[in-house]
Structure 1
Amino acid sequence: MNIKYGIIGLGGIAQVFAGALNTIPDAELTAVASGNRERAEAFSKKFEASKIYDSYIDLIHDKEVDVVYVALTHNFHYDIVKMCLENGKAVLCEKPLAINKKDAEELIALSRKNKVLLMEAMWTRCLPSFQKAKEWVDSGKIGDVRLIDAKFCFNAPYDPKHRLFNPRLAGGSLYDTGVYVIEFTTGILGEKPETVSGFATIAETGVDDFAVINMSFKSGALAMLSCGTRAHVNKDAGIYGTNGRIVVYEFFSSKKCELYDNNNNLVESFEDYCQDGFVYQIRHFNKLFEKGKLESDIIPLEDTANCADVFDKLMNQWGIVGNI
């Protein structure tokens, strides 16, 4: 059967998603919704959606739509996802699902109560290179993990109205790119952090624009993470163990990872040649939907809630919670 998707929020990430969706044989784009009719019509024409809605709730009420992909700015996620779950619609929501632990736990509880599939769109965890790196770690190829080093930083022009810097849109580097380094780490280790600390620089609008994050885990592993919107930084991630190390190149959209021993000898290399990494996320979600699952084993809801808990702790440390 074809799984019919509706998309709410038609910005840049929705275009990437829709392009990937149209390459999946068992999925189709049925409906799109935007407050801007002209944008919706252009999006619908480009990606061949059969229905256009001016109202988000009208799309959610469409009985032909099986899954809603939520691609709005972070500040709208909670309300829209809640409406979807209350109406029995499976949800794939752009990261972060929620910007605090309270909201994340409420949505997760509602998903389980109503028996509706919910997944945060942490597409990087679905990439074969991530899965290969995790397989190497889980099988003990590098011994006990002692350190994970991951960075996701880019240089964006400062614009106080842009979603990256606008507190009304839940802007800031932590929500936009920090979520990736945090969930890369917890995904590789398979555990939540015991302690979290960090430093951040604050933009004129009151949101964080660059941050370093340190985490410790019960297993003994440590993490050194960075996120930012004001400078380009190398995005290769390192996983260091007692018997070797793993390099995940361009971890955010990785197509390659390598395994080295303690003498810096290359032991194994993995490379994926797929041009659009979003397809792995969509295929994974489709399998969950077809099997009647309520959550992902690759991106479990507990990890999503734990990441939101890290948000809370860091925002409190930085003293900017009241600005969001």
Structure 2
Amino acid sequence: MTVRFGIIGLGGIASRFAGVLKNAEGTSLAAVASRDMERSEAFAKEYNAGRAYDNYDALLQDDEVDIVYVALTHNFHYDIIKKCILQGKAVLCEKPFVTTQRDADELIELAKEKNVLLMEAMWSRCIPAFRKAREWVAGGLIGKPQLVQAAFCFHIPFDAEHRLFNPELAGGSLYDAGVYPIEFATGILGENPVEVSGIAHKCTTGVDDFTVINLGFASGALASLACGLNARVSQDAIVYGTDGKVVVYNFLGAHKTERYNENGELLETFEEEFEDGFIYEIQHISELYRNKKIESEYIPLKDTSACAGIFDKLIEKWQ
């Protein structure tokens, strides 16, 4: 069965997705949509899409689209996801899914009610190295987890109109970058936090441009996370346990993970090479669709809701 994708929002991330989709076995790009027909047609030509539209509703009404990949800026996610669900279209939405837990929970309940597949595009959780690290931690191979450290910070010149700095486009490092270490921590531990705190530095537009996040879990594990727009920071994530540690190198798109004992001696290495980690996300949601699933076991909707709840708590503290 060929799974047919439609893409809404044709920016840089959509181009990356469409490029990987070209080489994903058992899939096709049925249609693309933006608010500009010239742009849609150019994108369709470059990535071999079946049809191009200049409005989103037309794509949603296309019977030959099975899964809609939502690649719009964060502020548009809620409205378009809701339309997709009501139209009966499976949804793969770029992170962050939405920016409030209320919106997340409403959409999740609607998808369950309509029996529609819904998944946040947290592609890093689908990568084999992450899955192996998760297996080691869940299997007790480093003892009881004590501390998770992860950060996604990069440097981009300040521009008040850029989506990352523009509050009207749900800008800020927390929404765009913080979602990765948060969902790394919840995914690797297999639980969501009971305590949330953090400190943010805000730029002149009022959004956070650097943030430190602390999470506490019912198991006793803690997480120390960071996200930012002003400096590059190591993207190697570490999970420390009572009997050792797991290192996930470049955790956003990890090719390698290693397990050490409590004395720092290397016990096990797992490595898998790939060109672009989006391929695993595409394969995963395609298989879910073929099997008539409405939720991913890799990116369960409870984690998507919990992440939005963390946003709520932090934003409330910073106001």
Question: Normalised by the size of structure 2, how large is the TM-score?
Answer: 0.99
3-state SS of the aligned residue for 1:98?
coil
Q: How does 1:88-107 map to 2 (within 5 A)?
A: 88-107=88-107
Whole-Å Cα distance in 2 between the matches of residues 176 and 25 of structure 1? 30
Question: Which residue pairs with 2:262 in the alignment?
Answer: 262
Whole-Å Cα distance in 1 between the matches of residues 112 and 75 of structure 2? 23
Question: Which residue pairs with 1:140 in the alignment?
Answer: 140
Q: Which amino acid aligns with 1:206?
A: G
Question: Which residue pairs with 2:241 in the alignment?
Answer: 241
Whole-Å Cα distance in 1 between the matches of residues 45 and 158 of structure 2? 32
Shift in Å, 1:37:
2.2
Question: Which residue pairs with 1:322 in the alignment?
Answer: none
Question: Which residue pairs with 2:197 in the alignment?
Answer: 197
- Which residues of structure 2 form unaligned runs of 5+? none
Q: Which amino acid aligns with 2:98?
A: A
Could you list the structure 1 runs, at least 4 aligned residues long, displaced by more than 6 angstroms after superposition: none
Whole-Å Cα distance in 2 between the matches of residues 106 and 51 of structure 1? 31
1:12 correspondence with 2:12: yes
Whole-Å Cα distance in 2 between the matches of residues 230 and 36 of structure 1? 33
Deviations 1:253-283 (A, max 9, x none): 1111110111111000011111111010011
Percent identity of the aligned residues?
57
Question: Which residue pairs with 1:275 in the alignment?
Answer: 275
3-state SS of the aligned residue for 2:165?
coil
3-state SS of the aligned residue for 2:119?
strand
Question: How many equivalent residue pairs?
Answer: 319
Question: Which residue pairs with 2:291 in the alignment?
Answer: 291
Deviations 1:276-316 (A, max 9, x none): 11010011101110111010011000000000000000000
Whole-Å Cα distance in 2 between the matches of residues 25 and 257 of structure 1? 27
Question: Which residue pairs with 2:46 in the alignment?
Answer: 46
Question: Which residue pairs with 1:162 in the alignment?
Answer: 162
1:65 correspondence with 2:65: yes
Question: Which residue pairs with 2:24 in the alignment?
Answer: 24
Whole-Å Cα distance in 1 between the matches of residues 175 and 45 of structure 2? 31
Question: Which residue pairs with 1:83 in the alignment?
Answer: 83
Deviations 1:12-70 (A, max 9, x none): 11111111111112100010000122221221111011100001011001111111000
Whole-Å Cα distance in 1 between the matches of residues 45 and 72 of structure 2? 20
Question: Which residue pairs with 1:175 in the alignment?
Answer: 175
Whole-Å Cα distance in 1 between the matches of residues 250 and 2 of structure 2? 33
Q: How does 1:222-241 map to 2 (within 5 A)?
A: 222-241=222-241
Question: Which residue pairs with 1:251 in the alignment?
Answer: 251
Shift in Å, 1:252:
0.7
3-state SS of the aligned residue for 1:72?
coil
Whole-Å Cα distance in 2 between the matches of residues 280 and 65 of structure 1? 20
Whole-Å Cα distance in 2 between the matches of residues 265 and 11 of structure 1? 44
Whole-Å Cα distance in 1 between the matches of residues 25 and 141 of structure 2? 36
Question: Which residue pairs with 2:310 in the alignment?
Answer: 310
Whole-Å Cα distance in 1 between the matches of residues 41 and 131 of structure 2? 38
Shift in Å, 1:110:
0.5
Q: Which amino acid aligns with 1:280?
A: Y
Q: Which amino acid aligns with 1:162?
A: H
Whole-Å Cα distance in 1 between the matches of residues 134 and 25 of structure 2? 28
Q: Which amino acid aligns with 1:226?
A: A
Q: Which amino acid aligns with 1:294?
A: I
Question: Which residue pairs with 2:126 in the alignment?
Answer: 126
Q: Which amino acid aligns with 1:135?
A: E
Whole-Å Cα distance in 2 between the matches of residues 262 and 119 of structure 1? 37
Range moving further from structure 2, 292-301 or 29-38: 29-38
Shift in Å, 1:106:
0.5
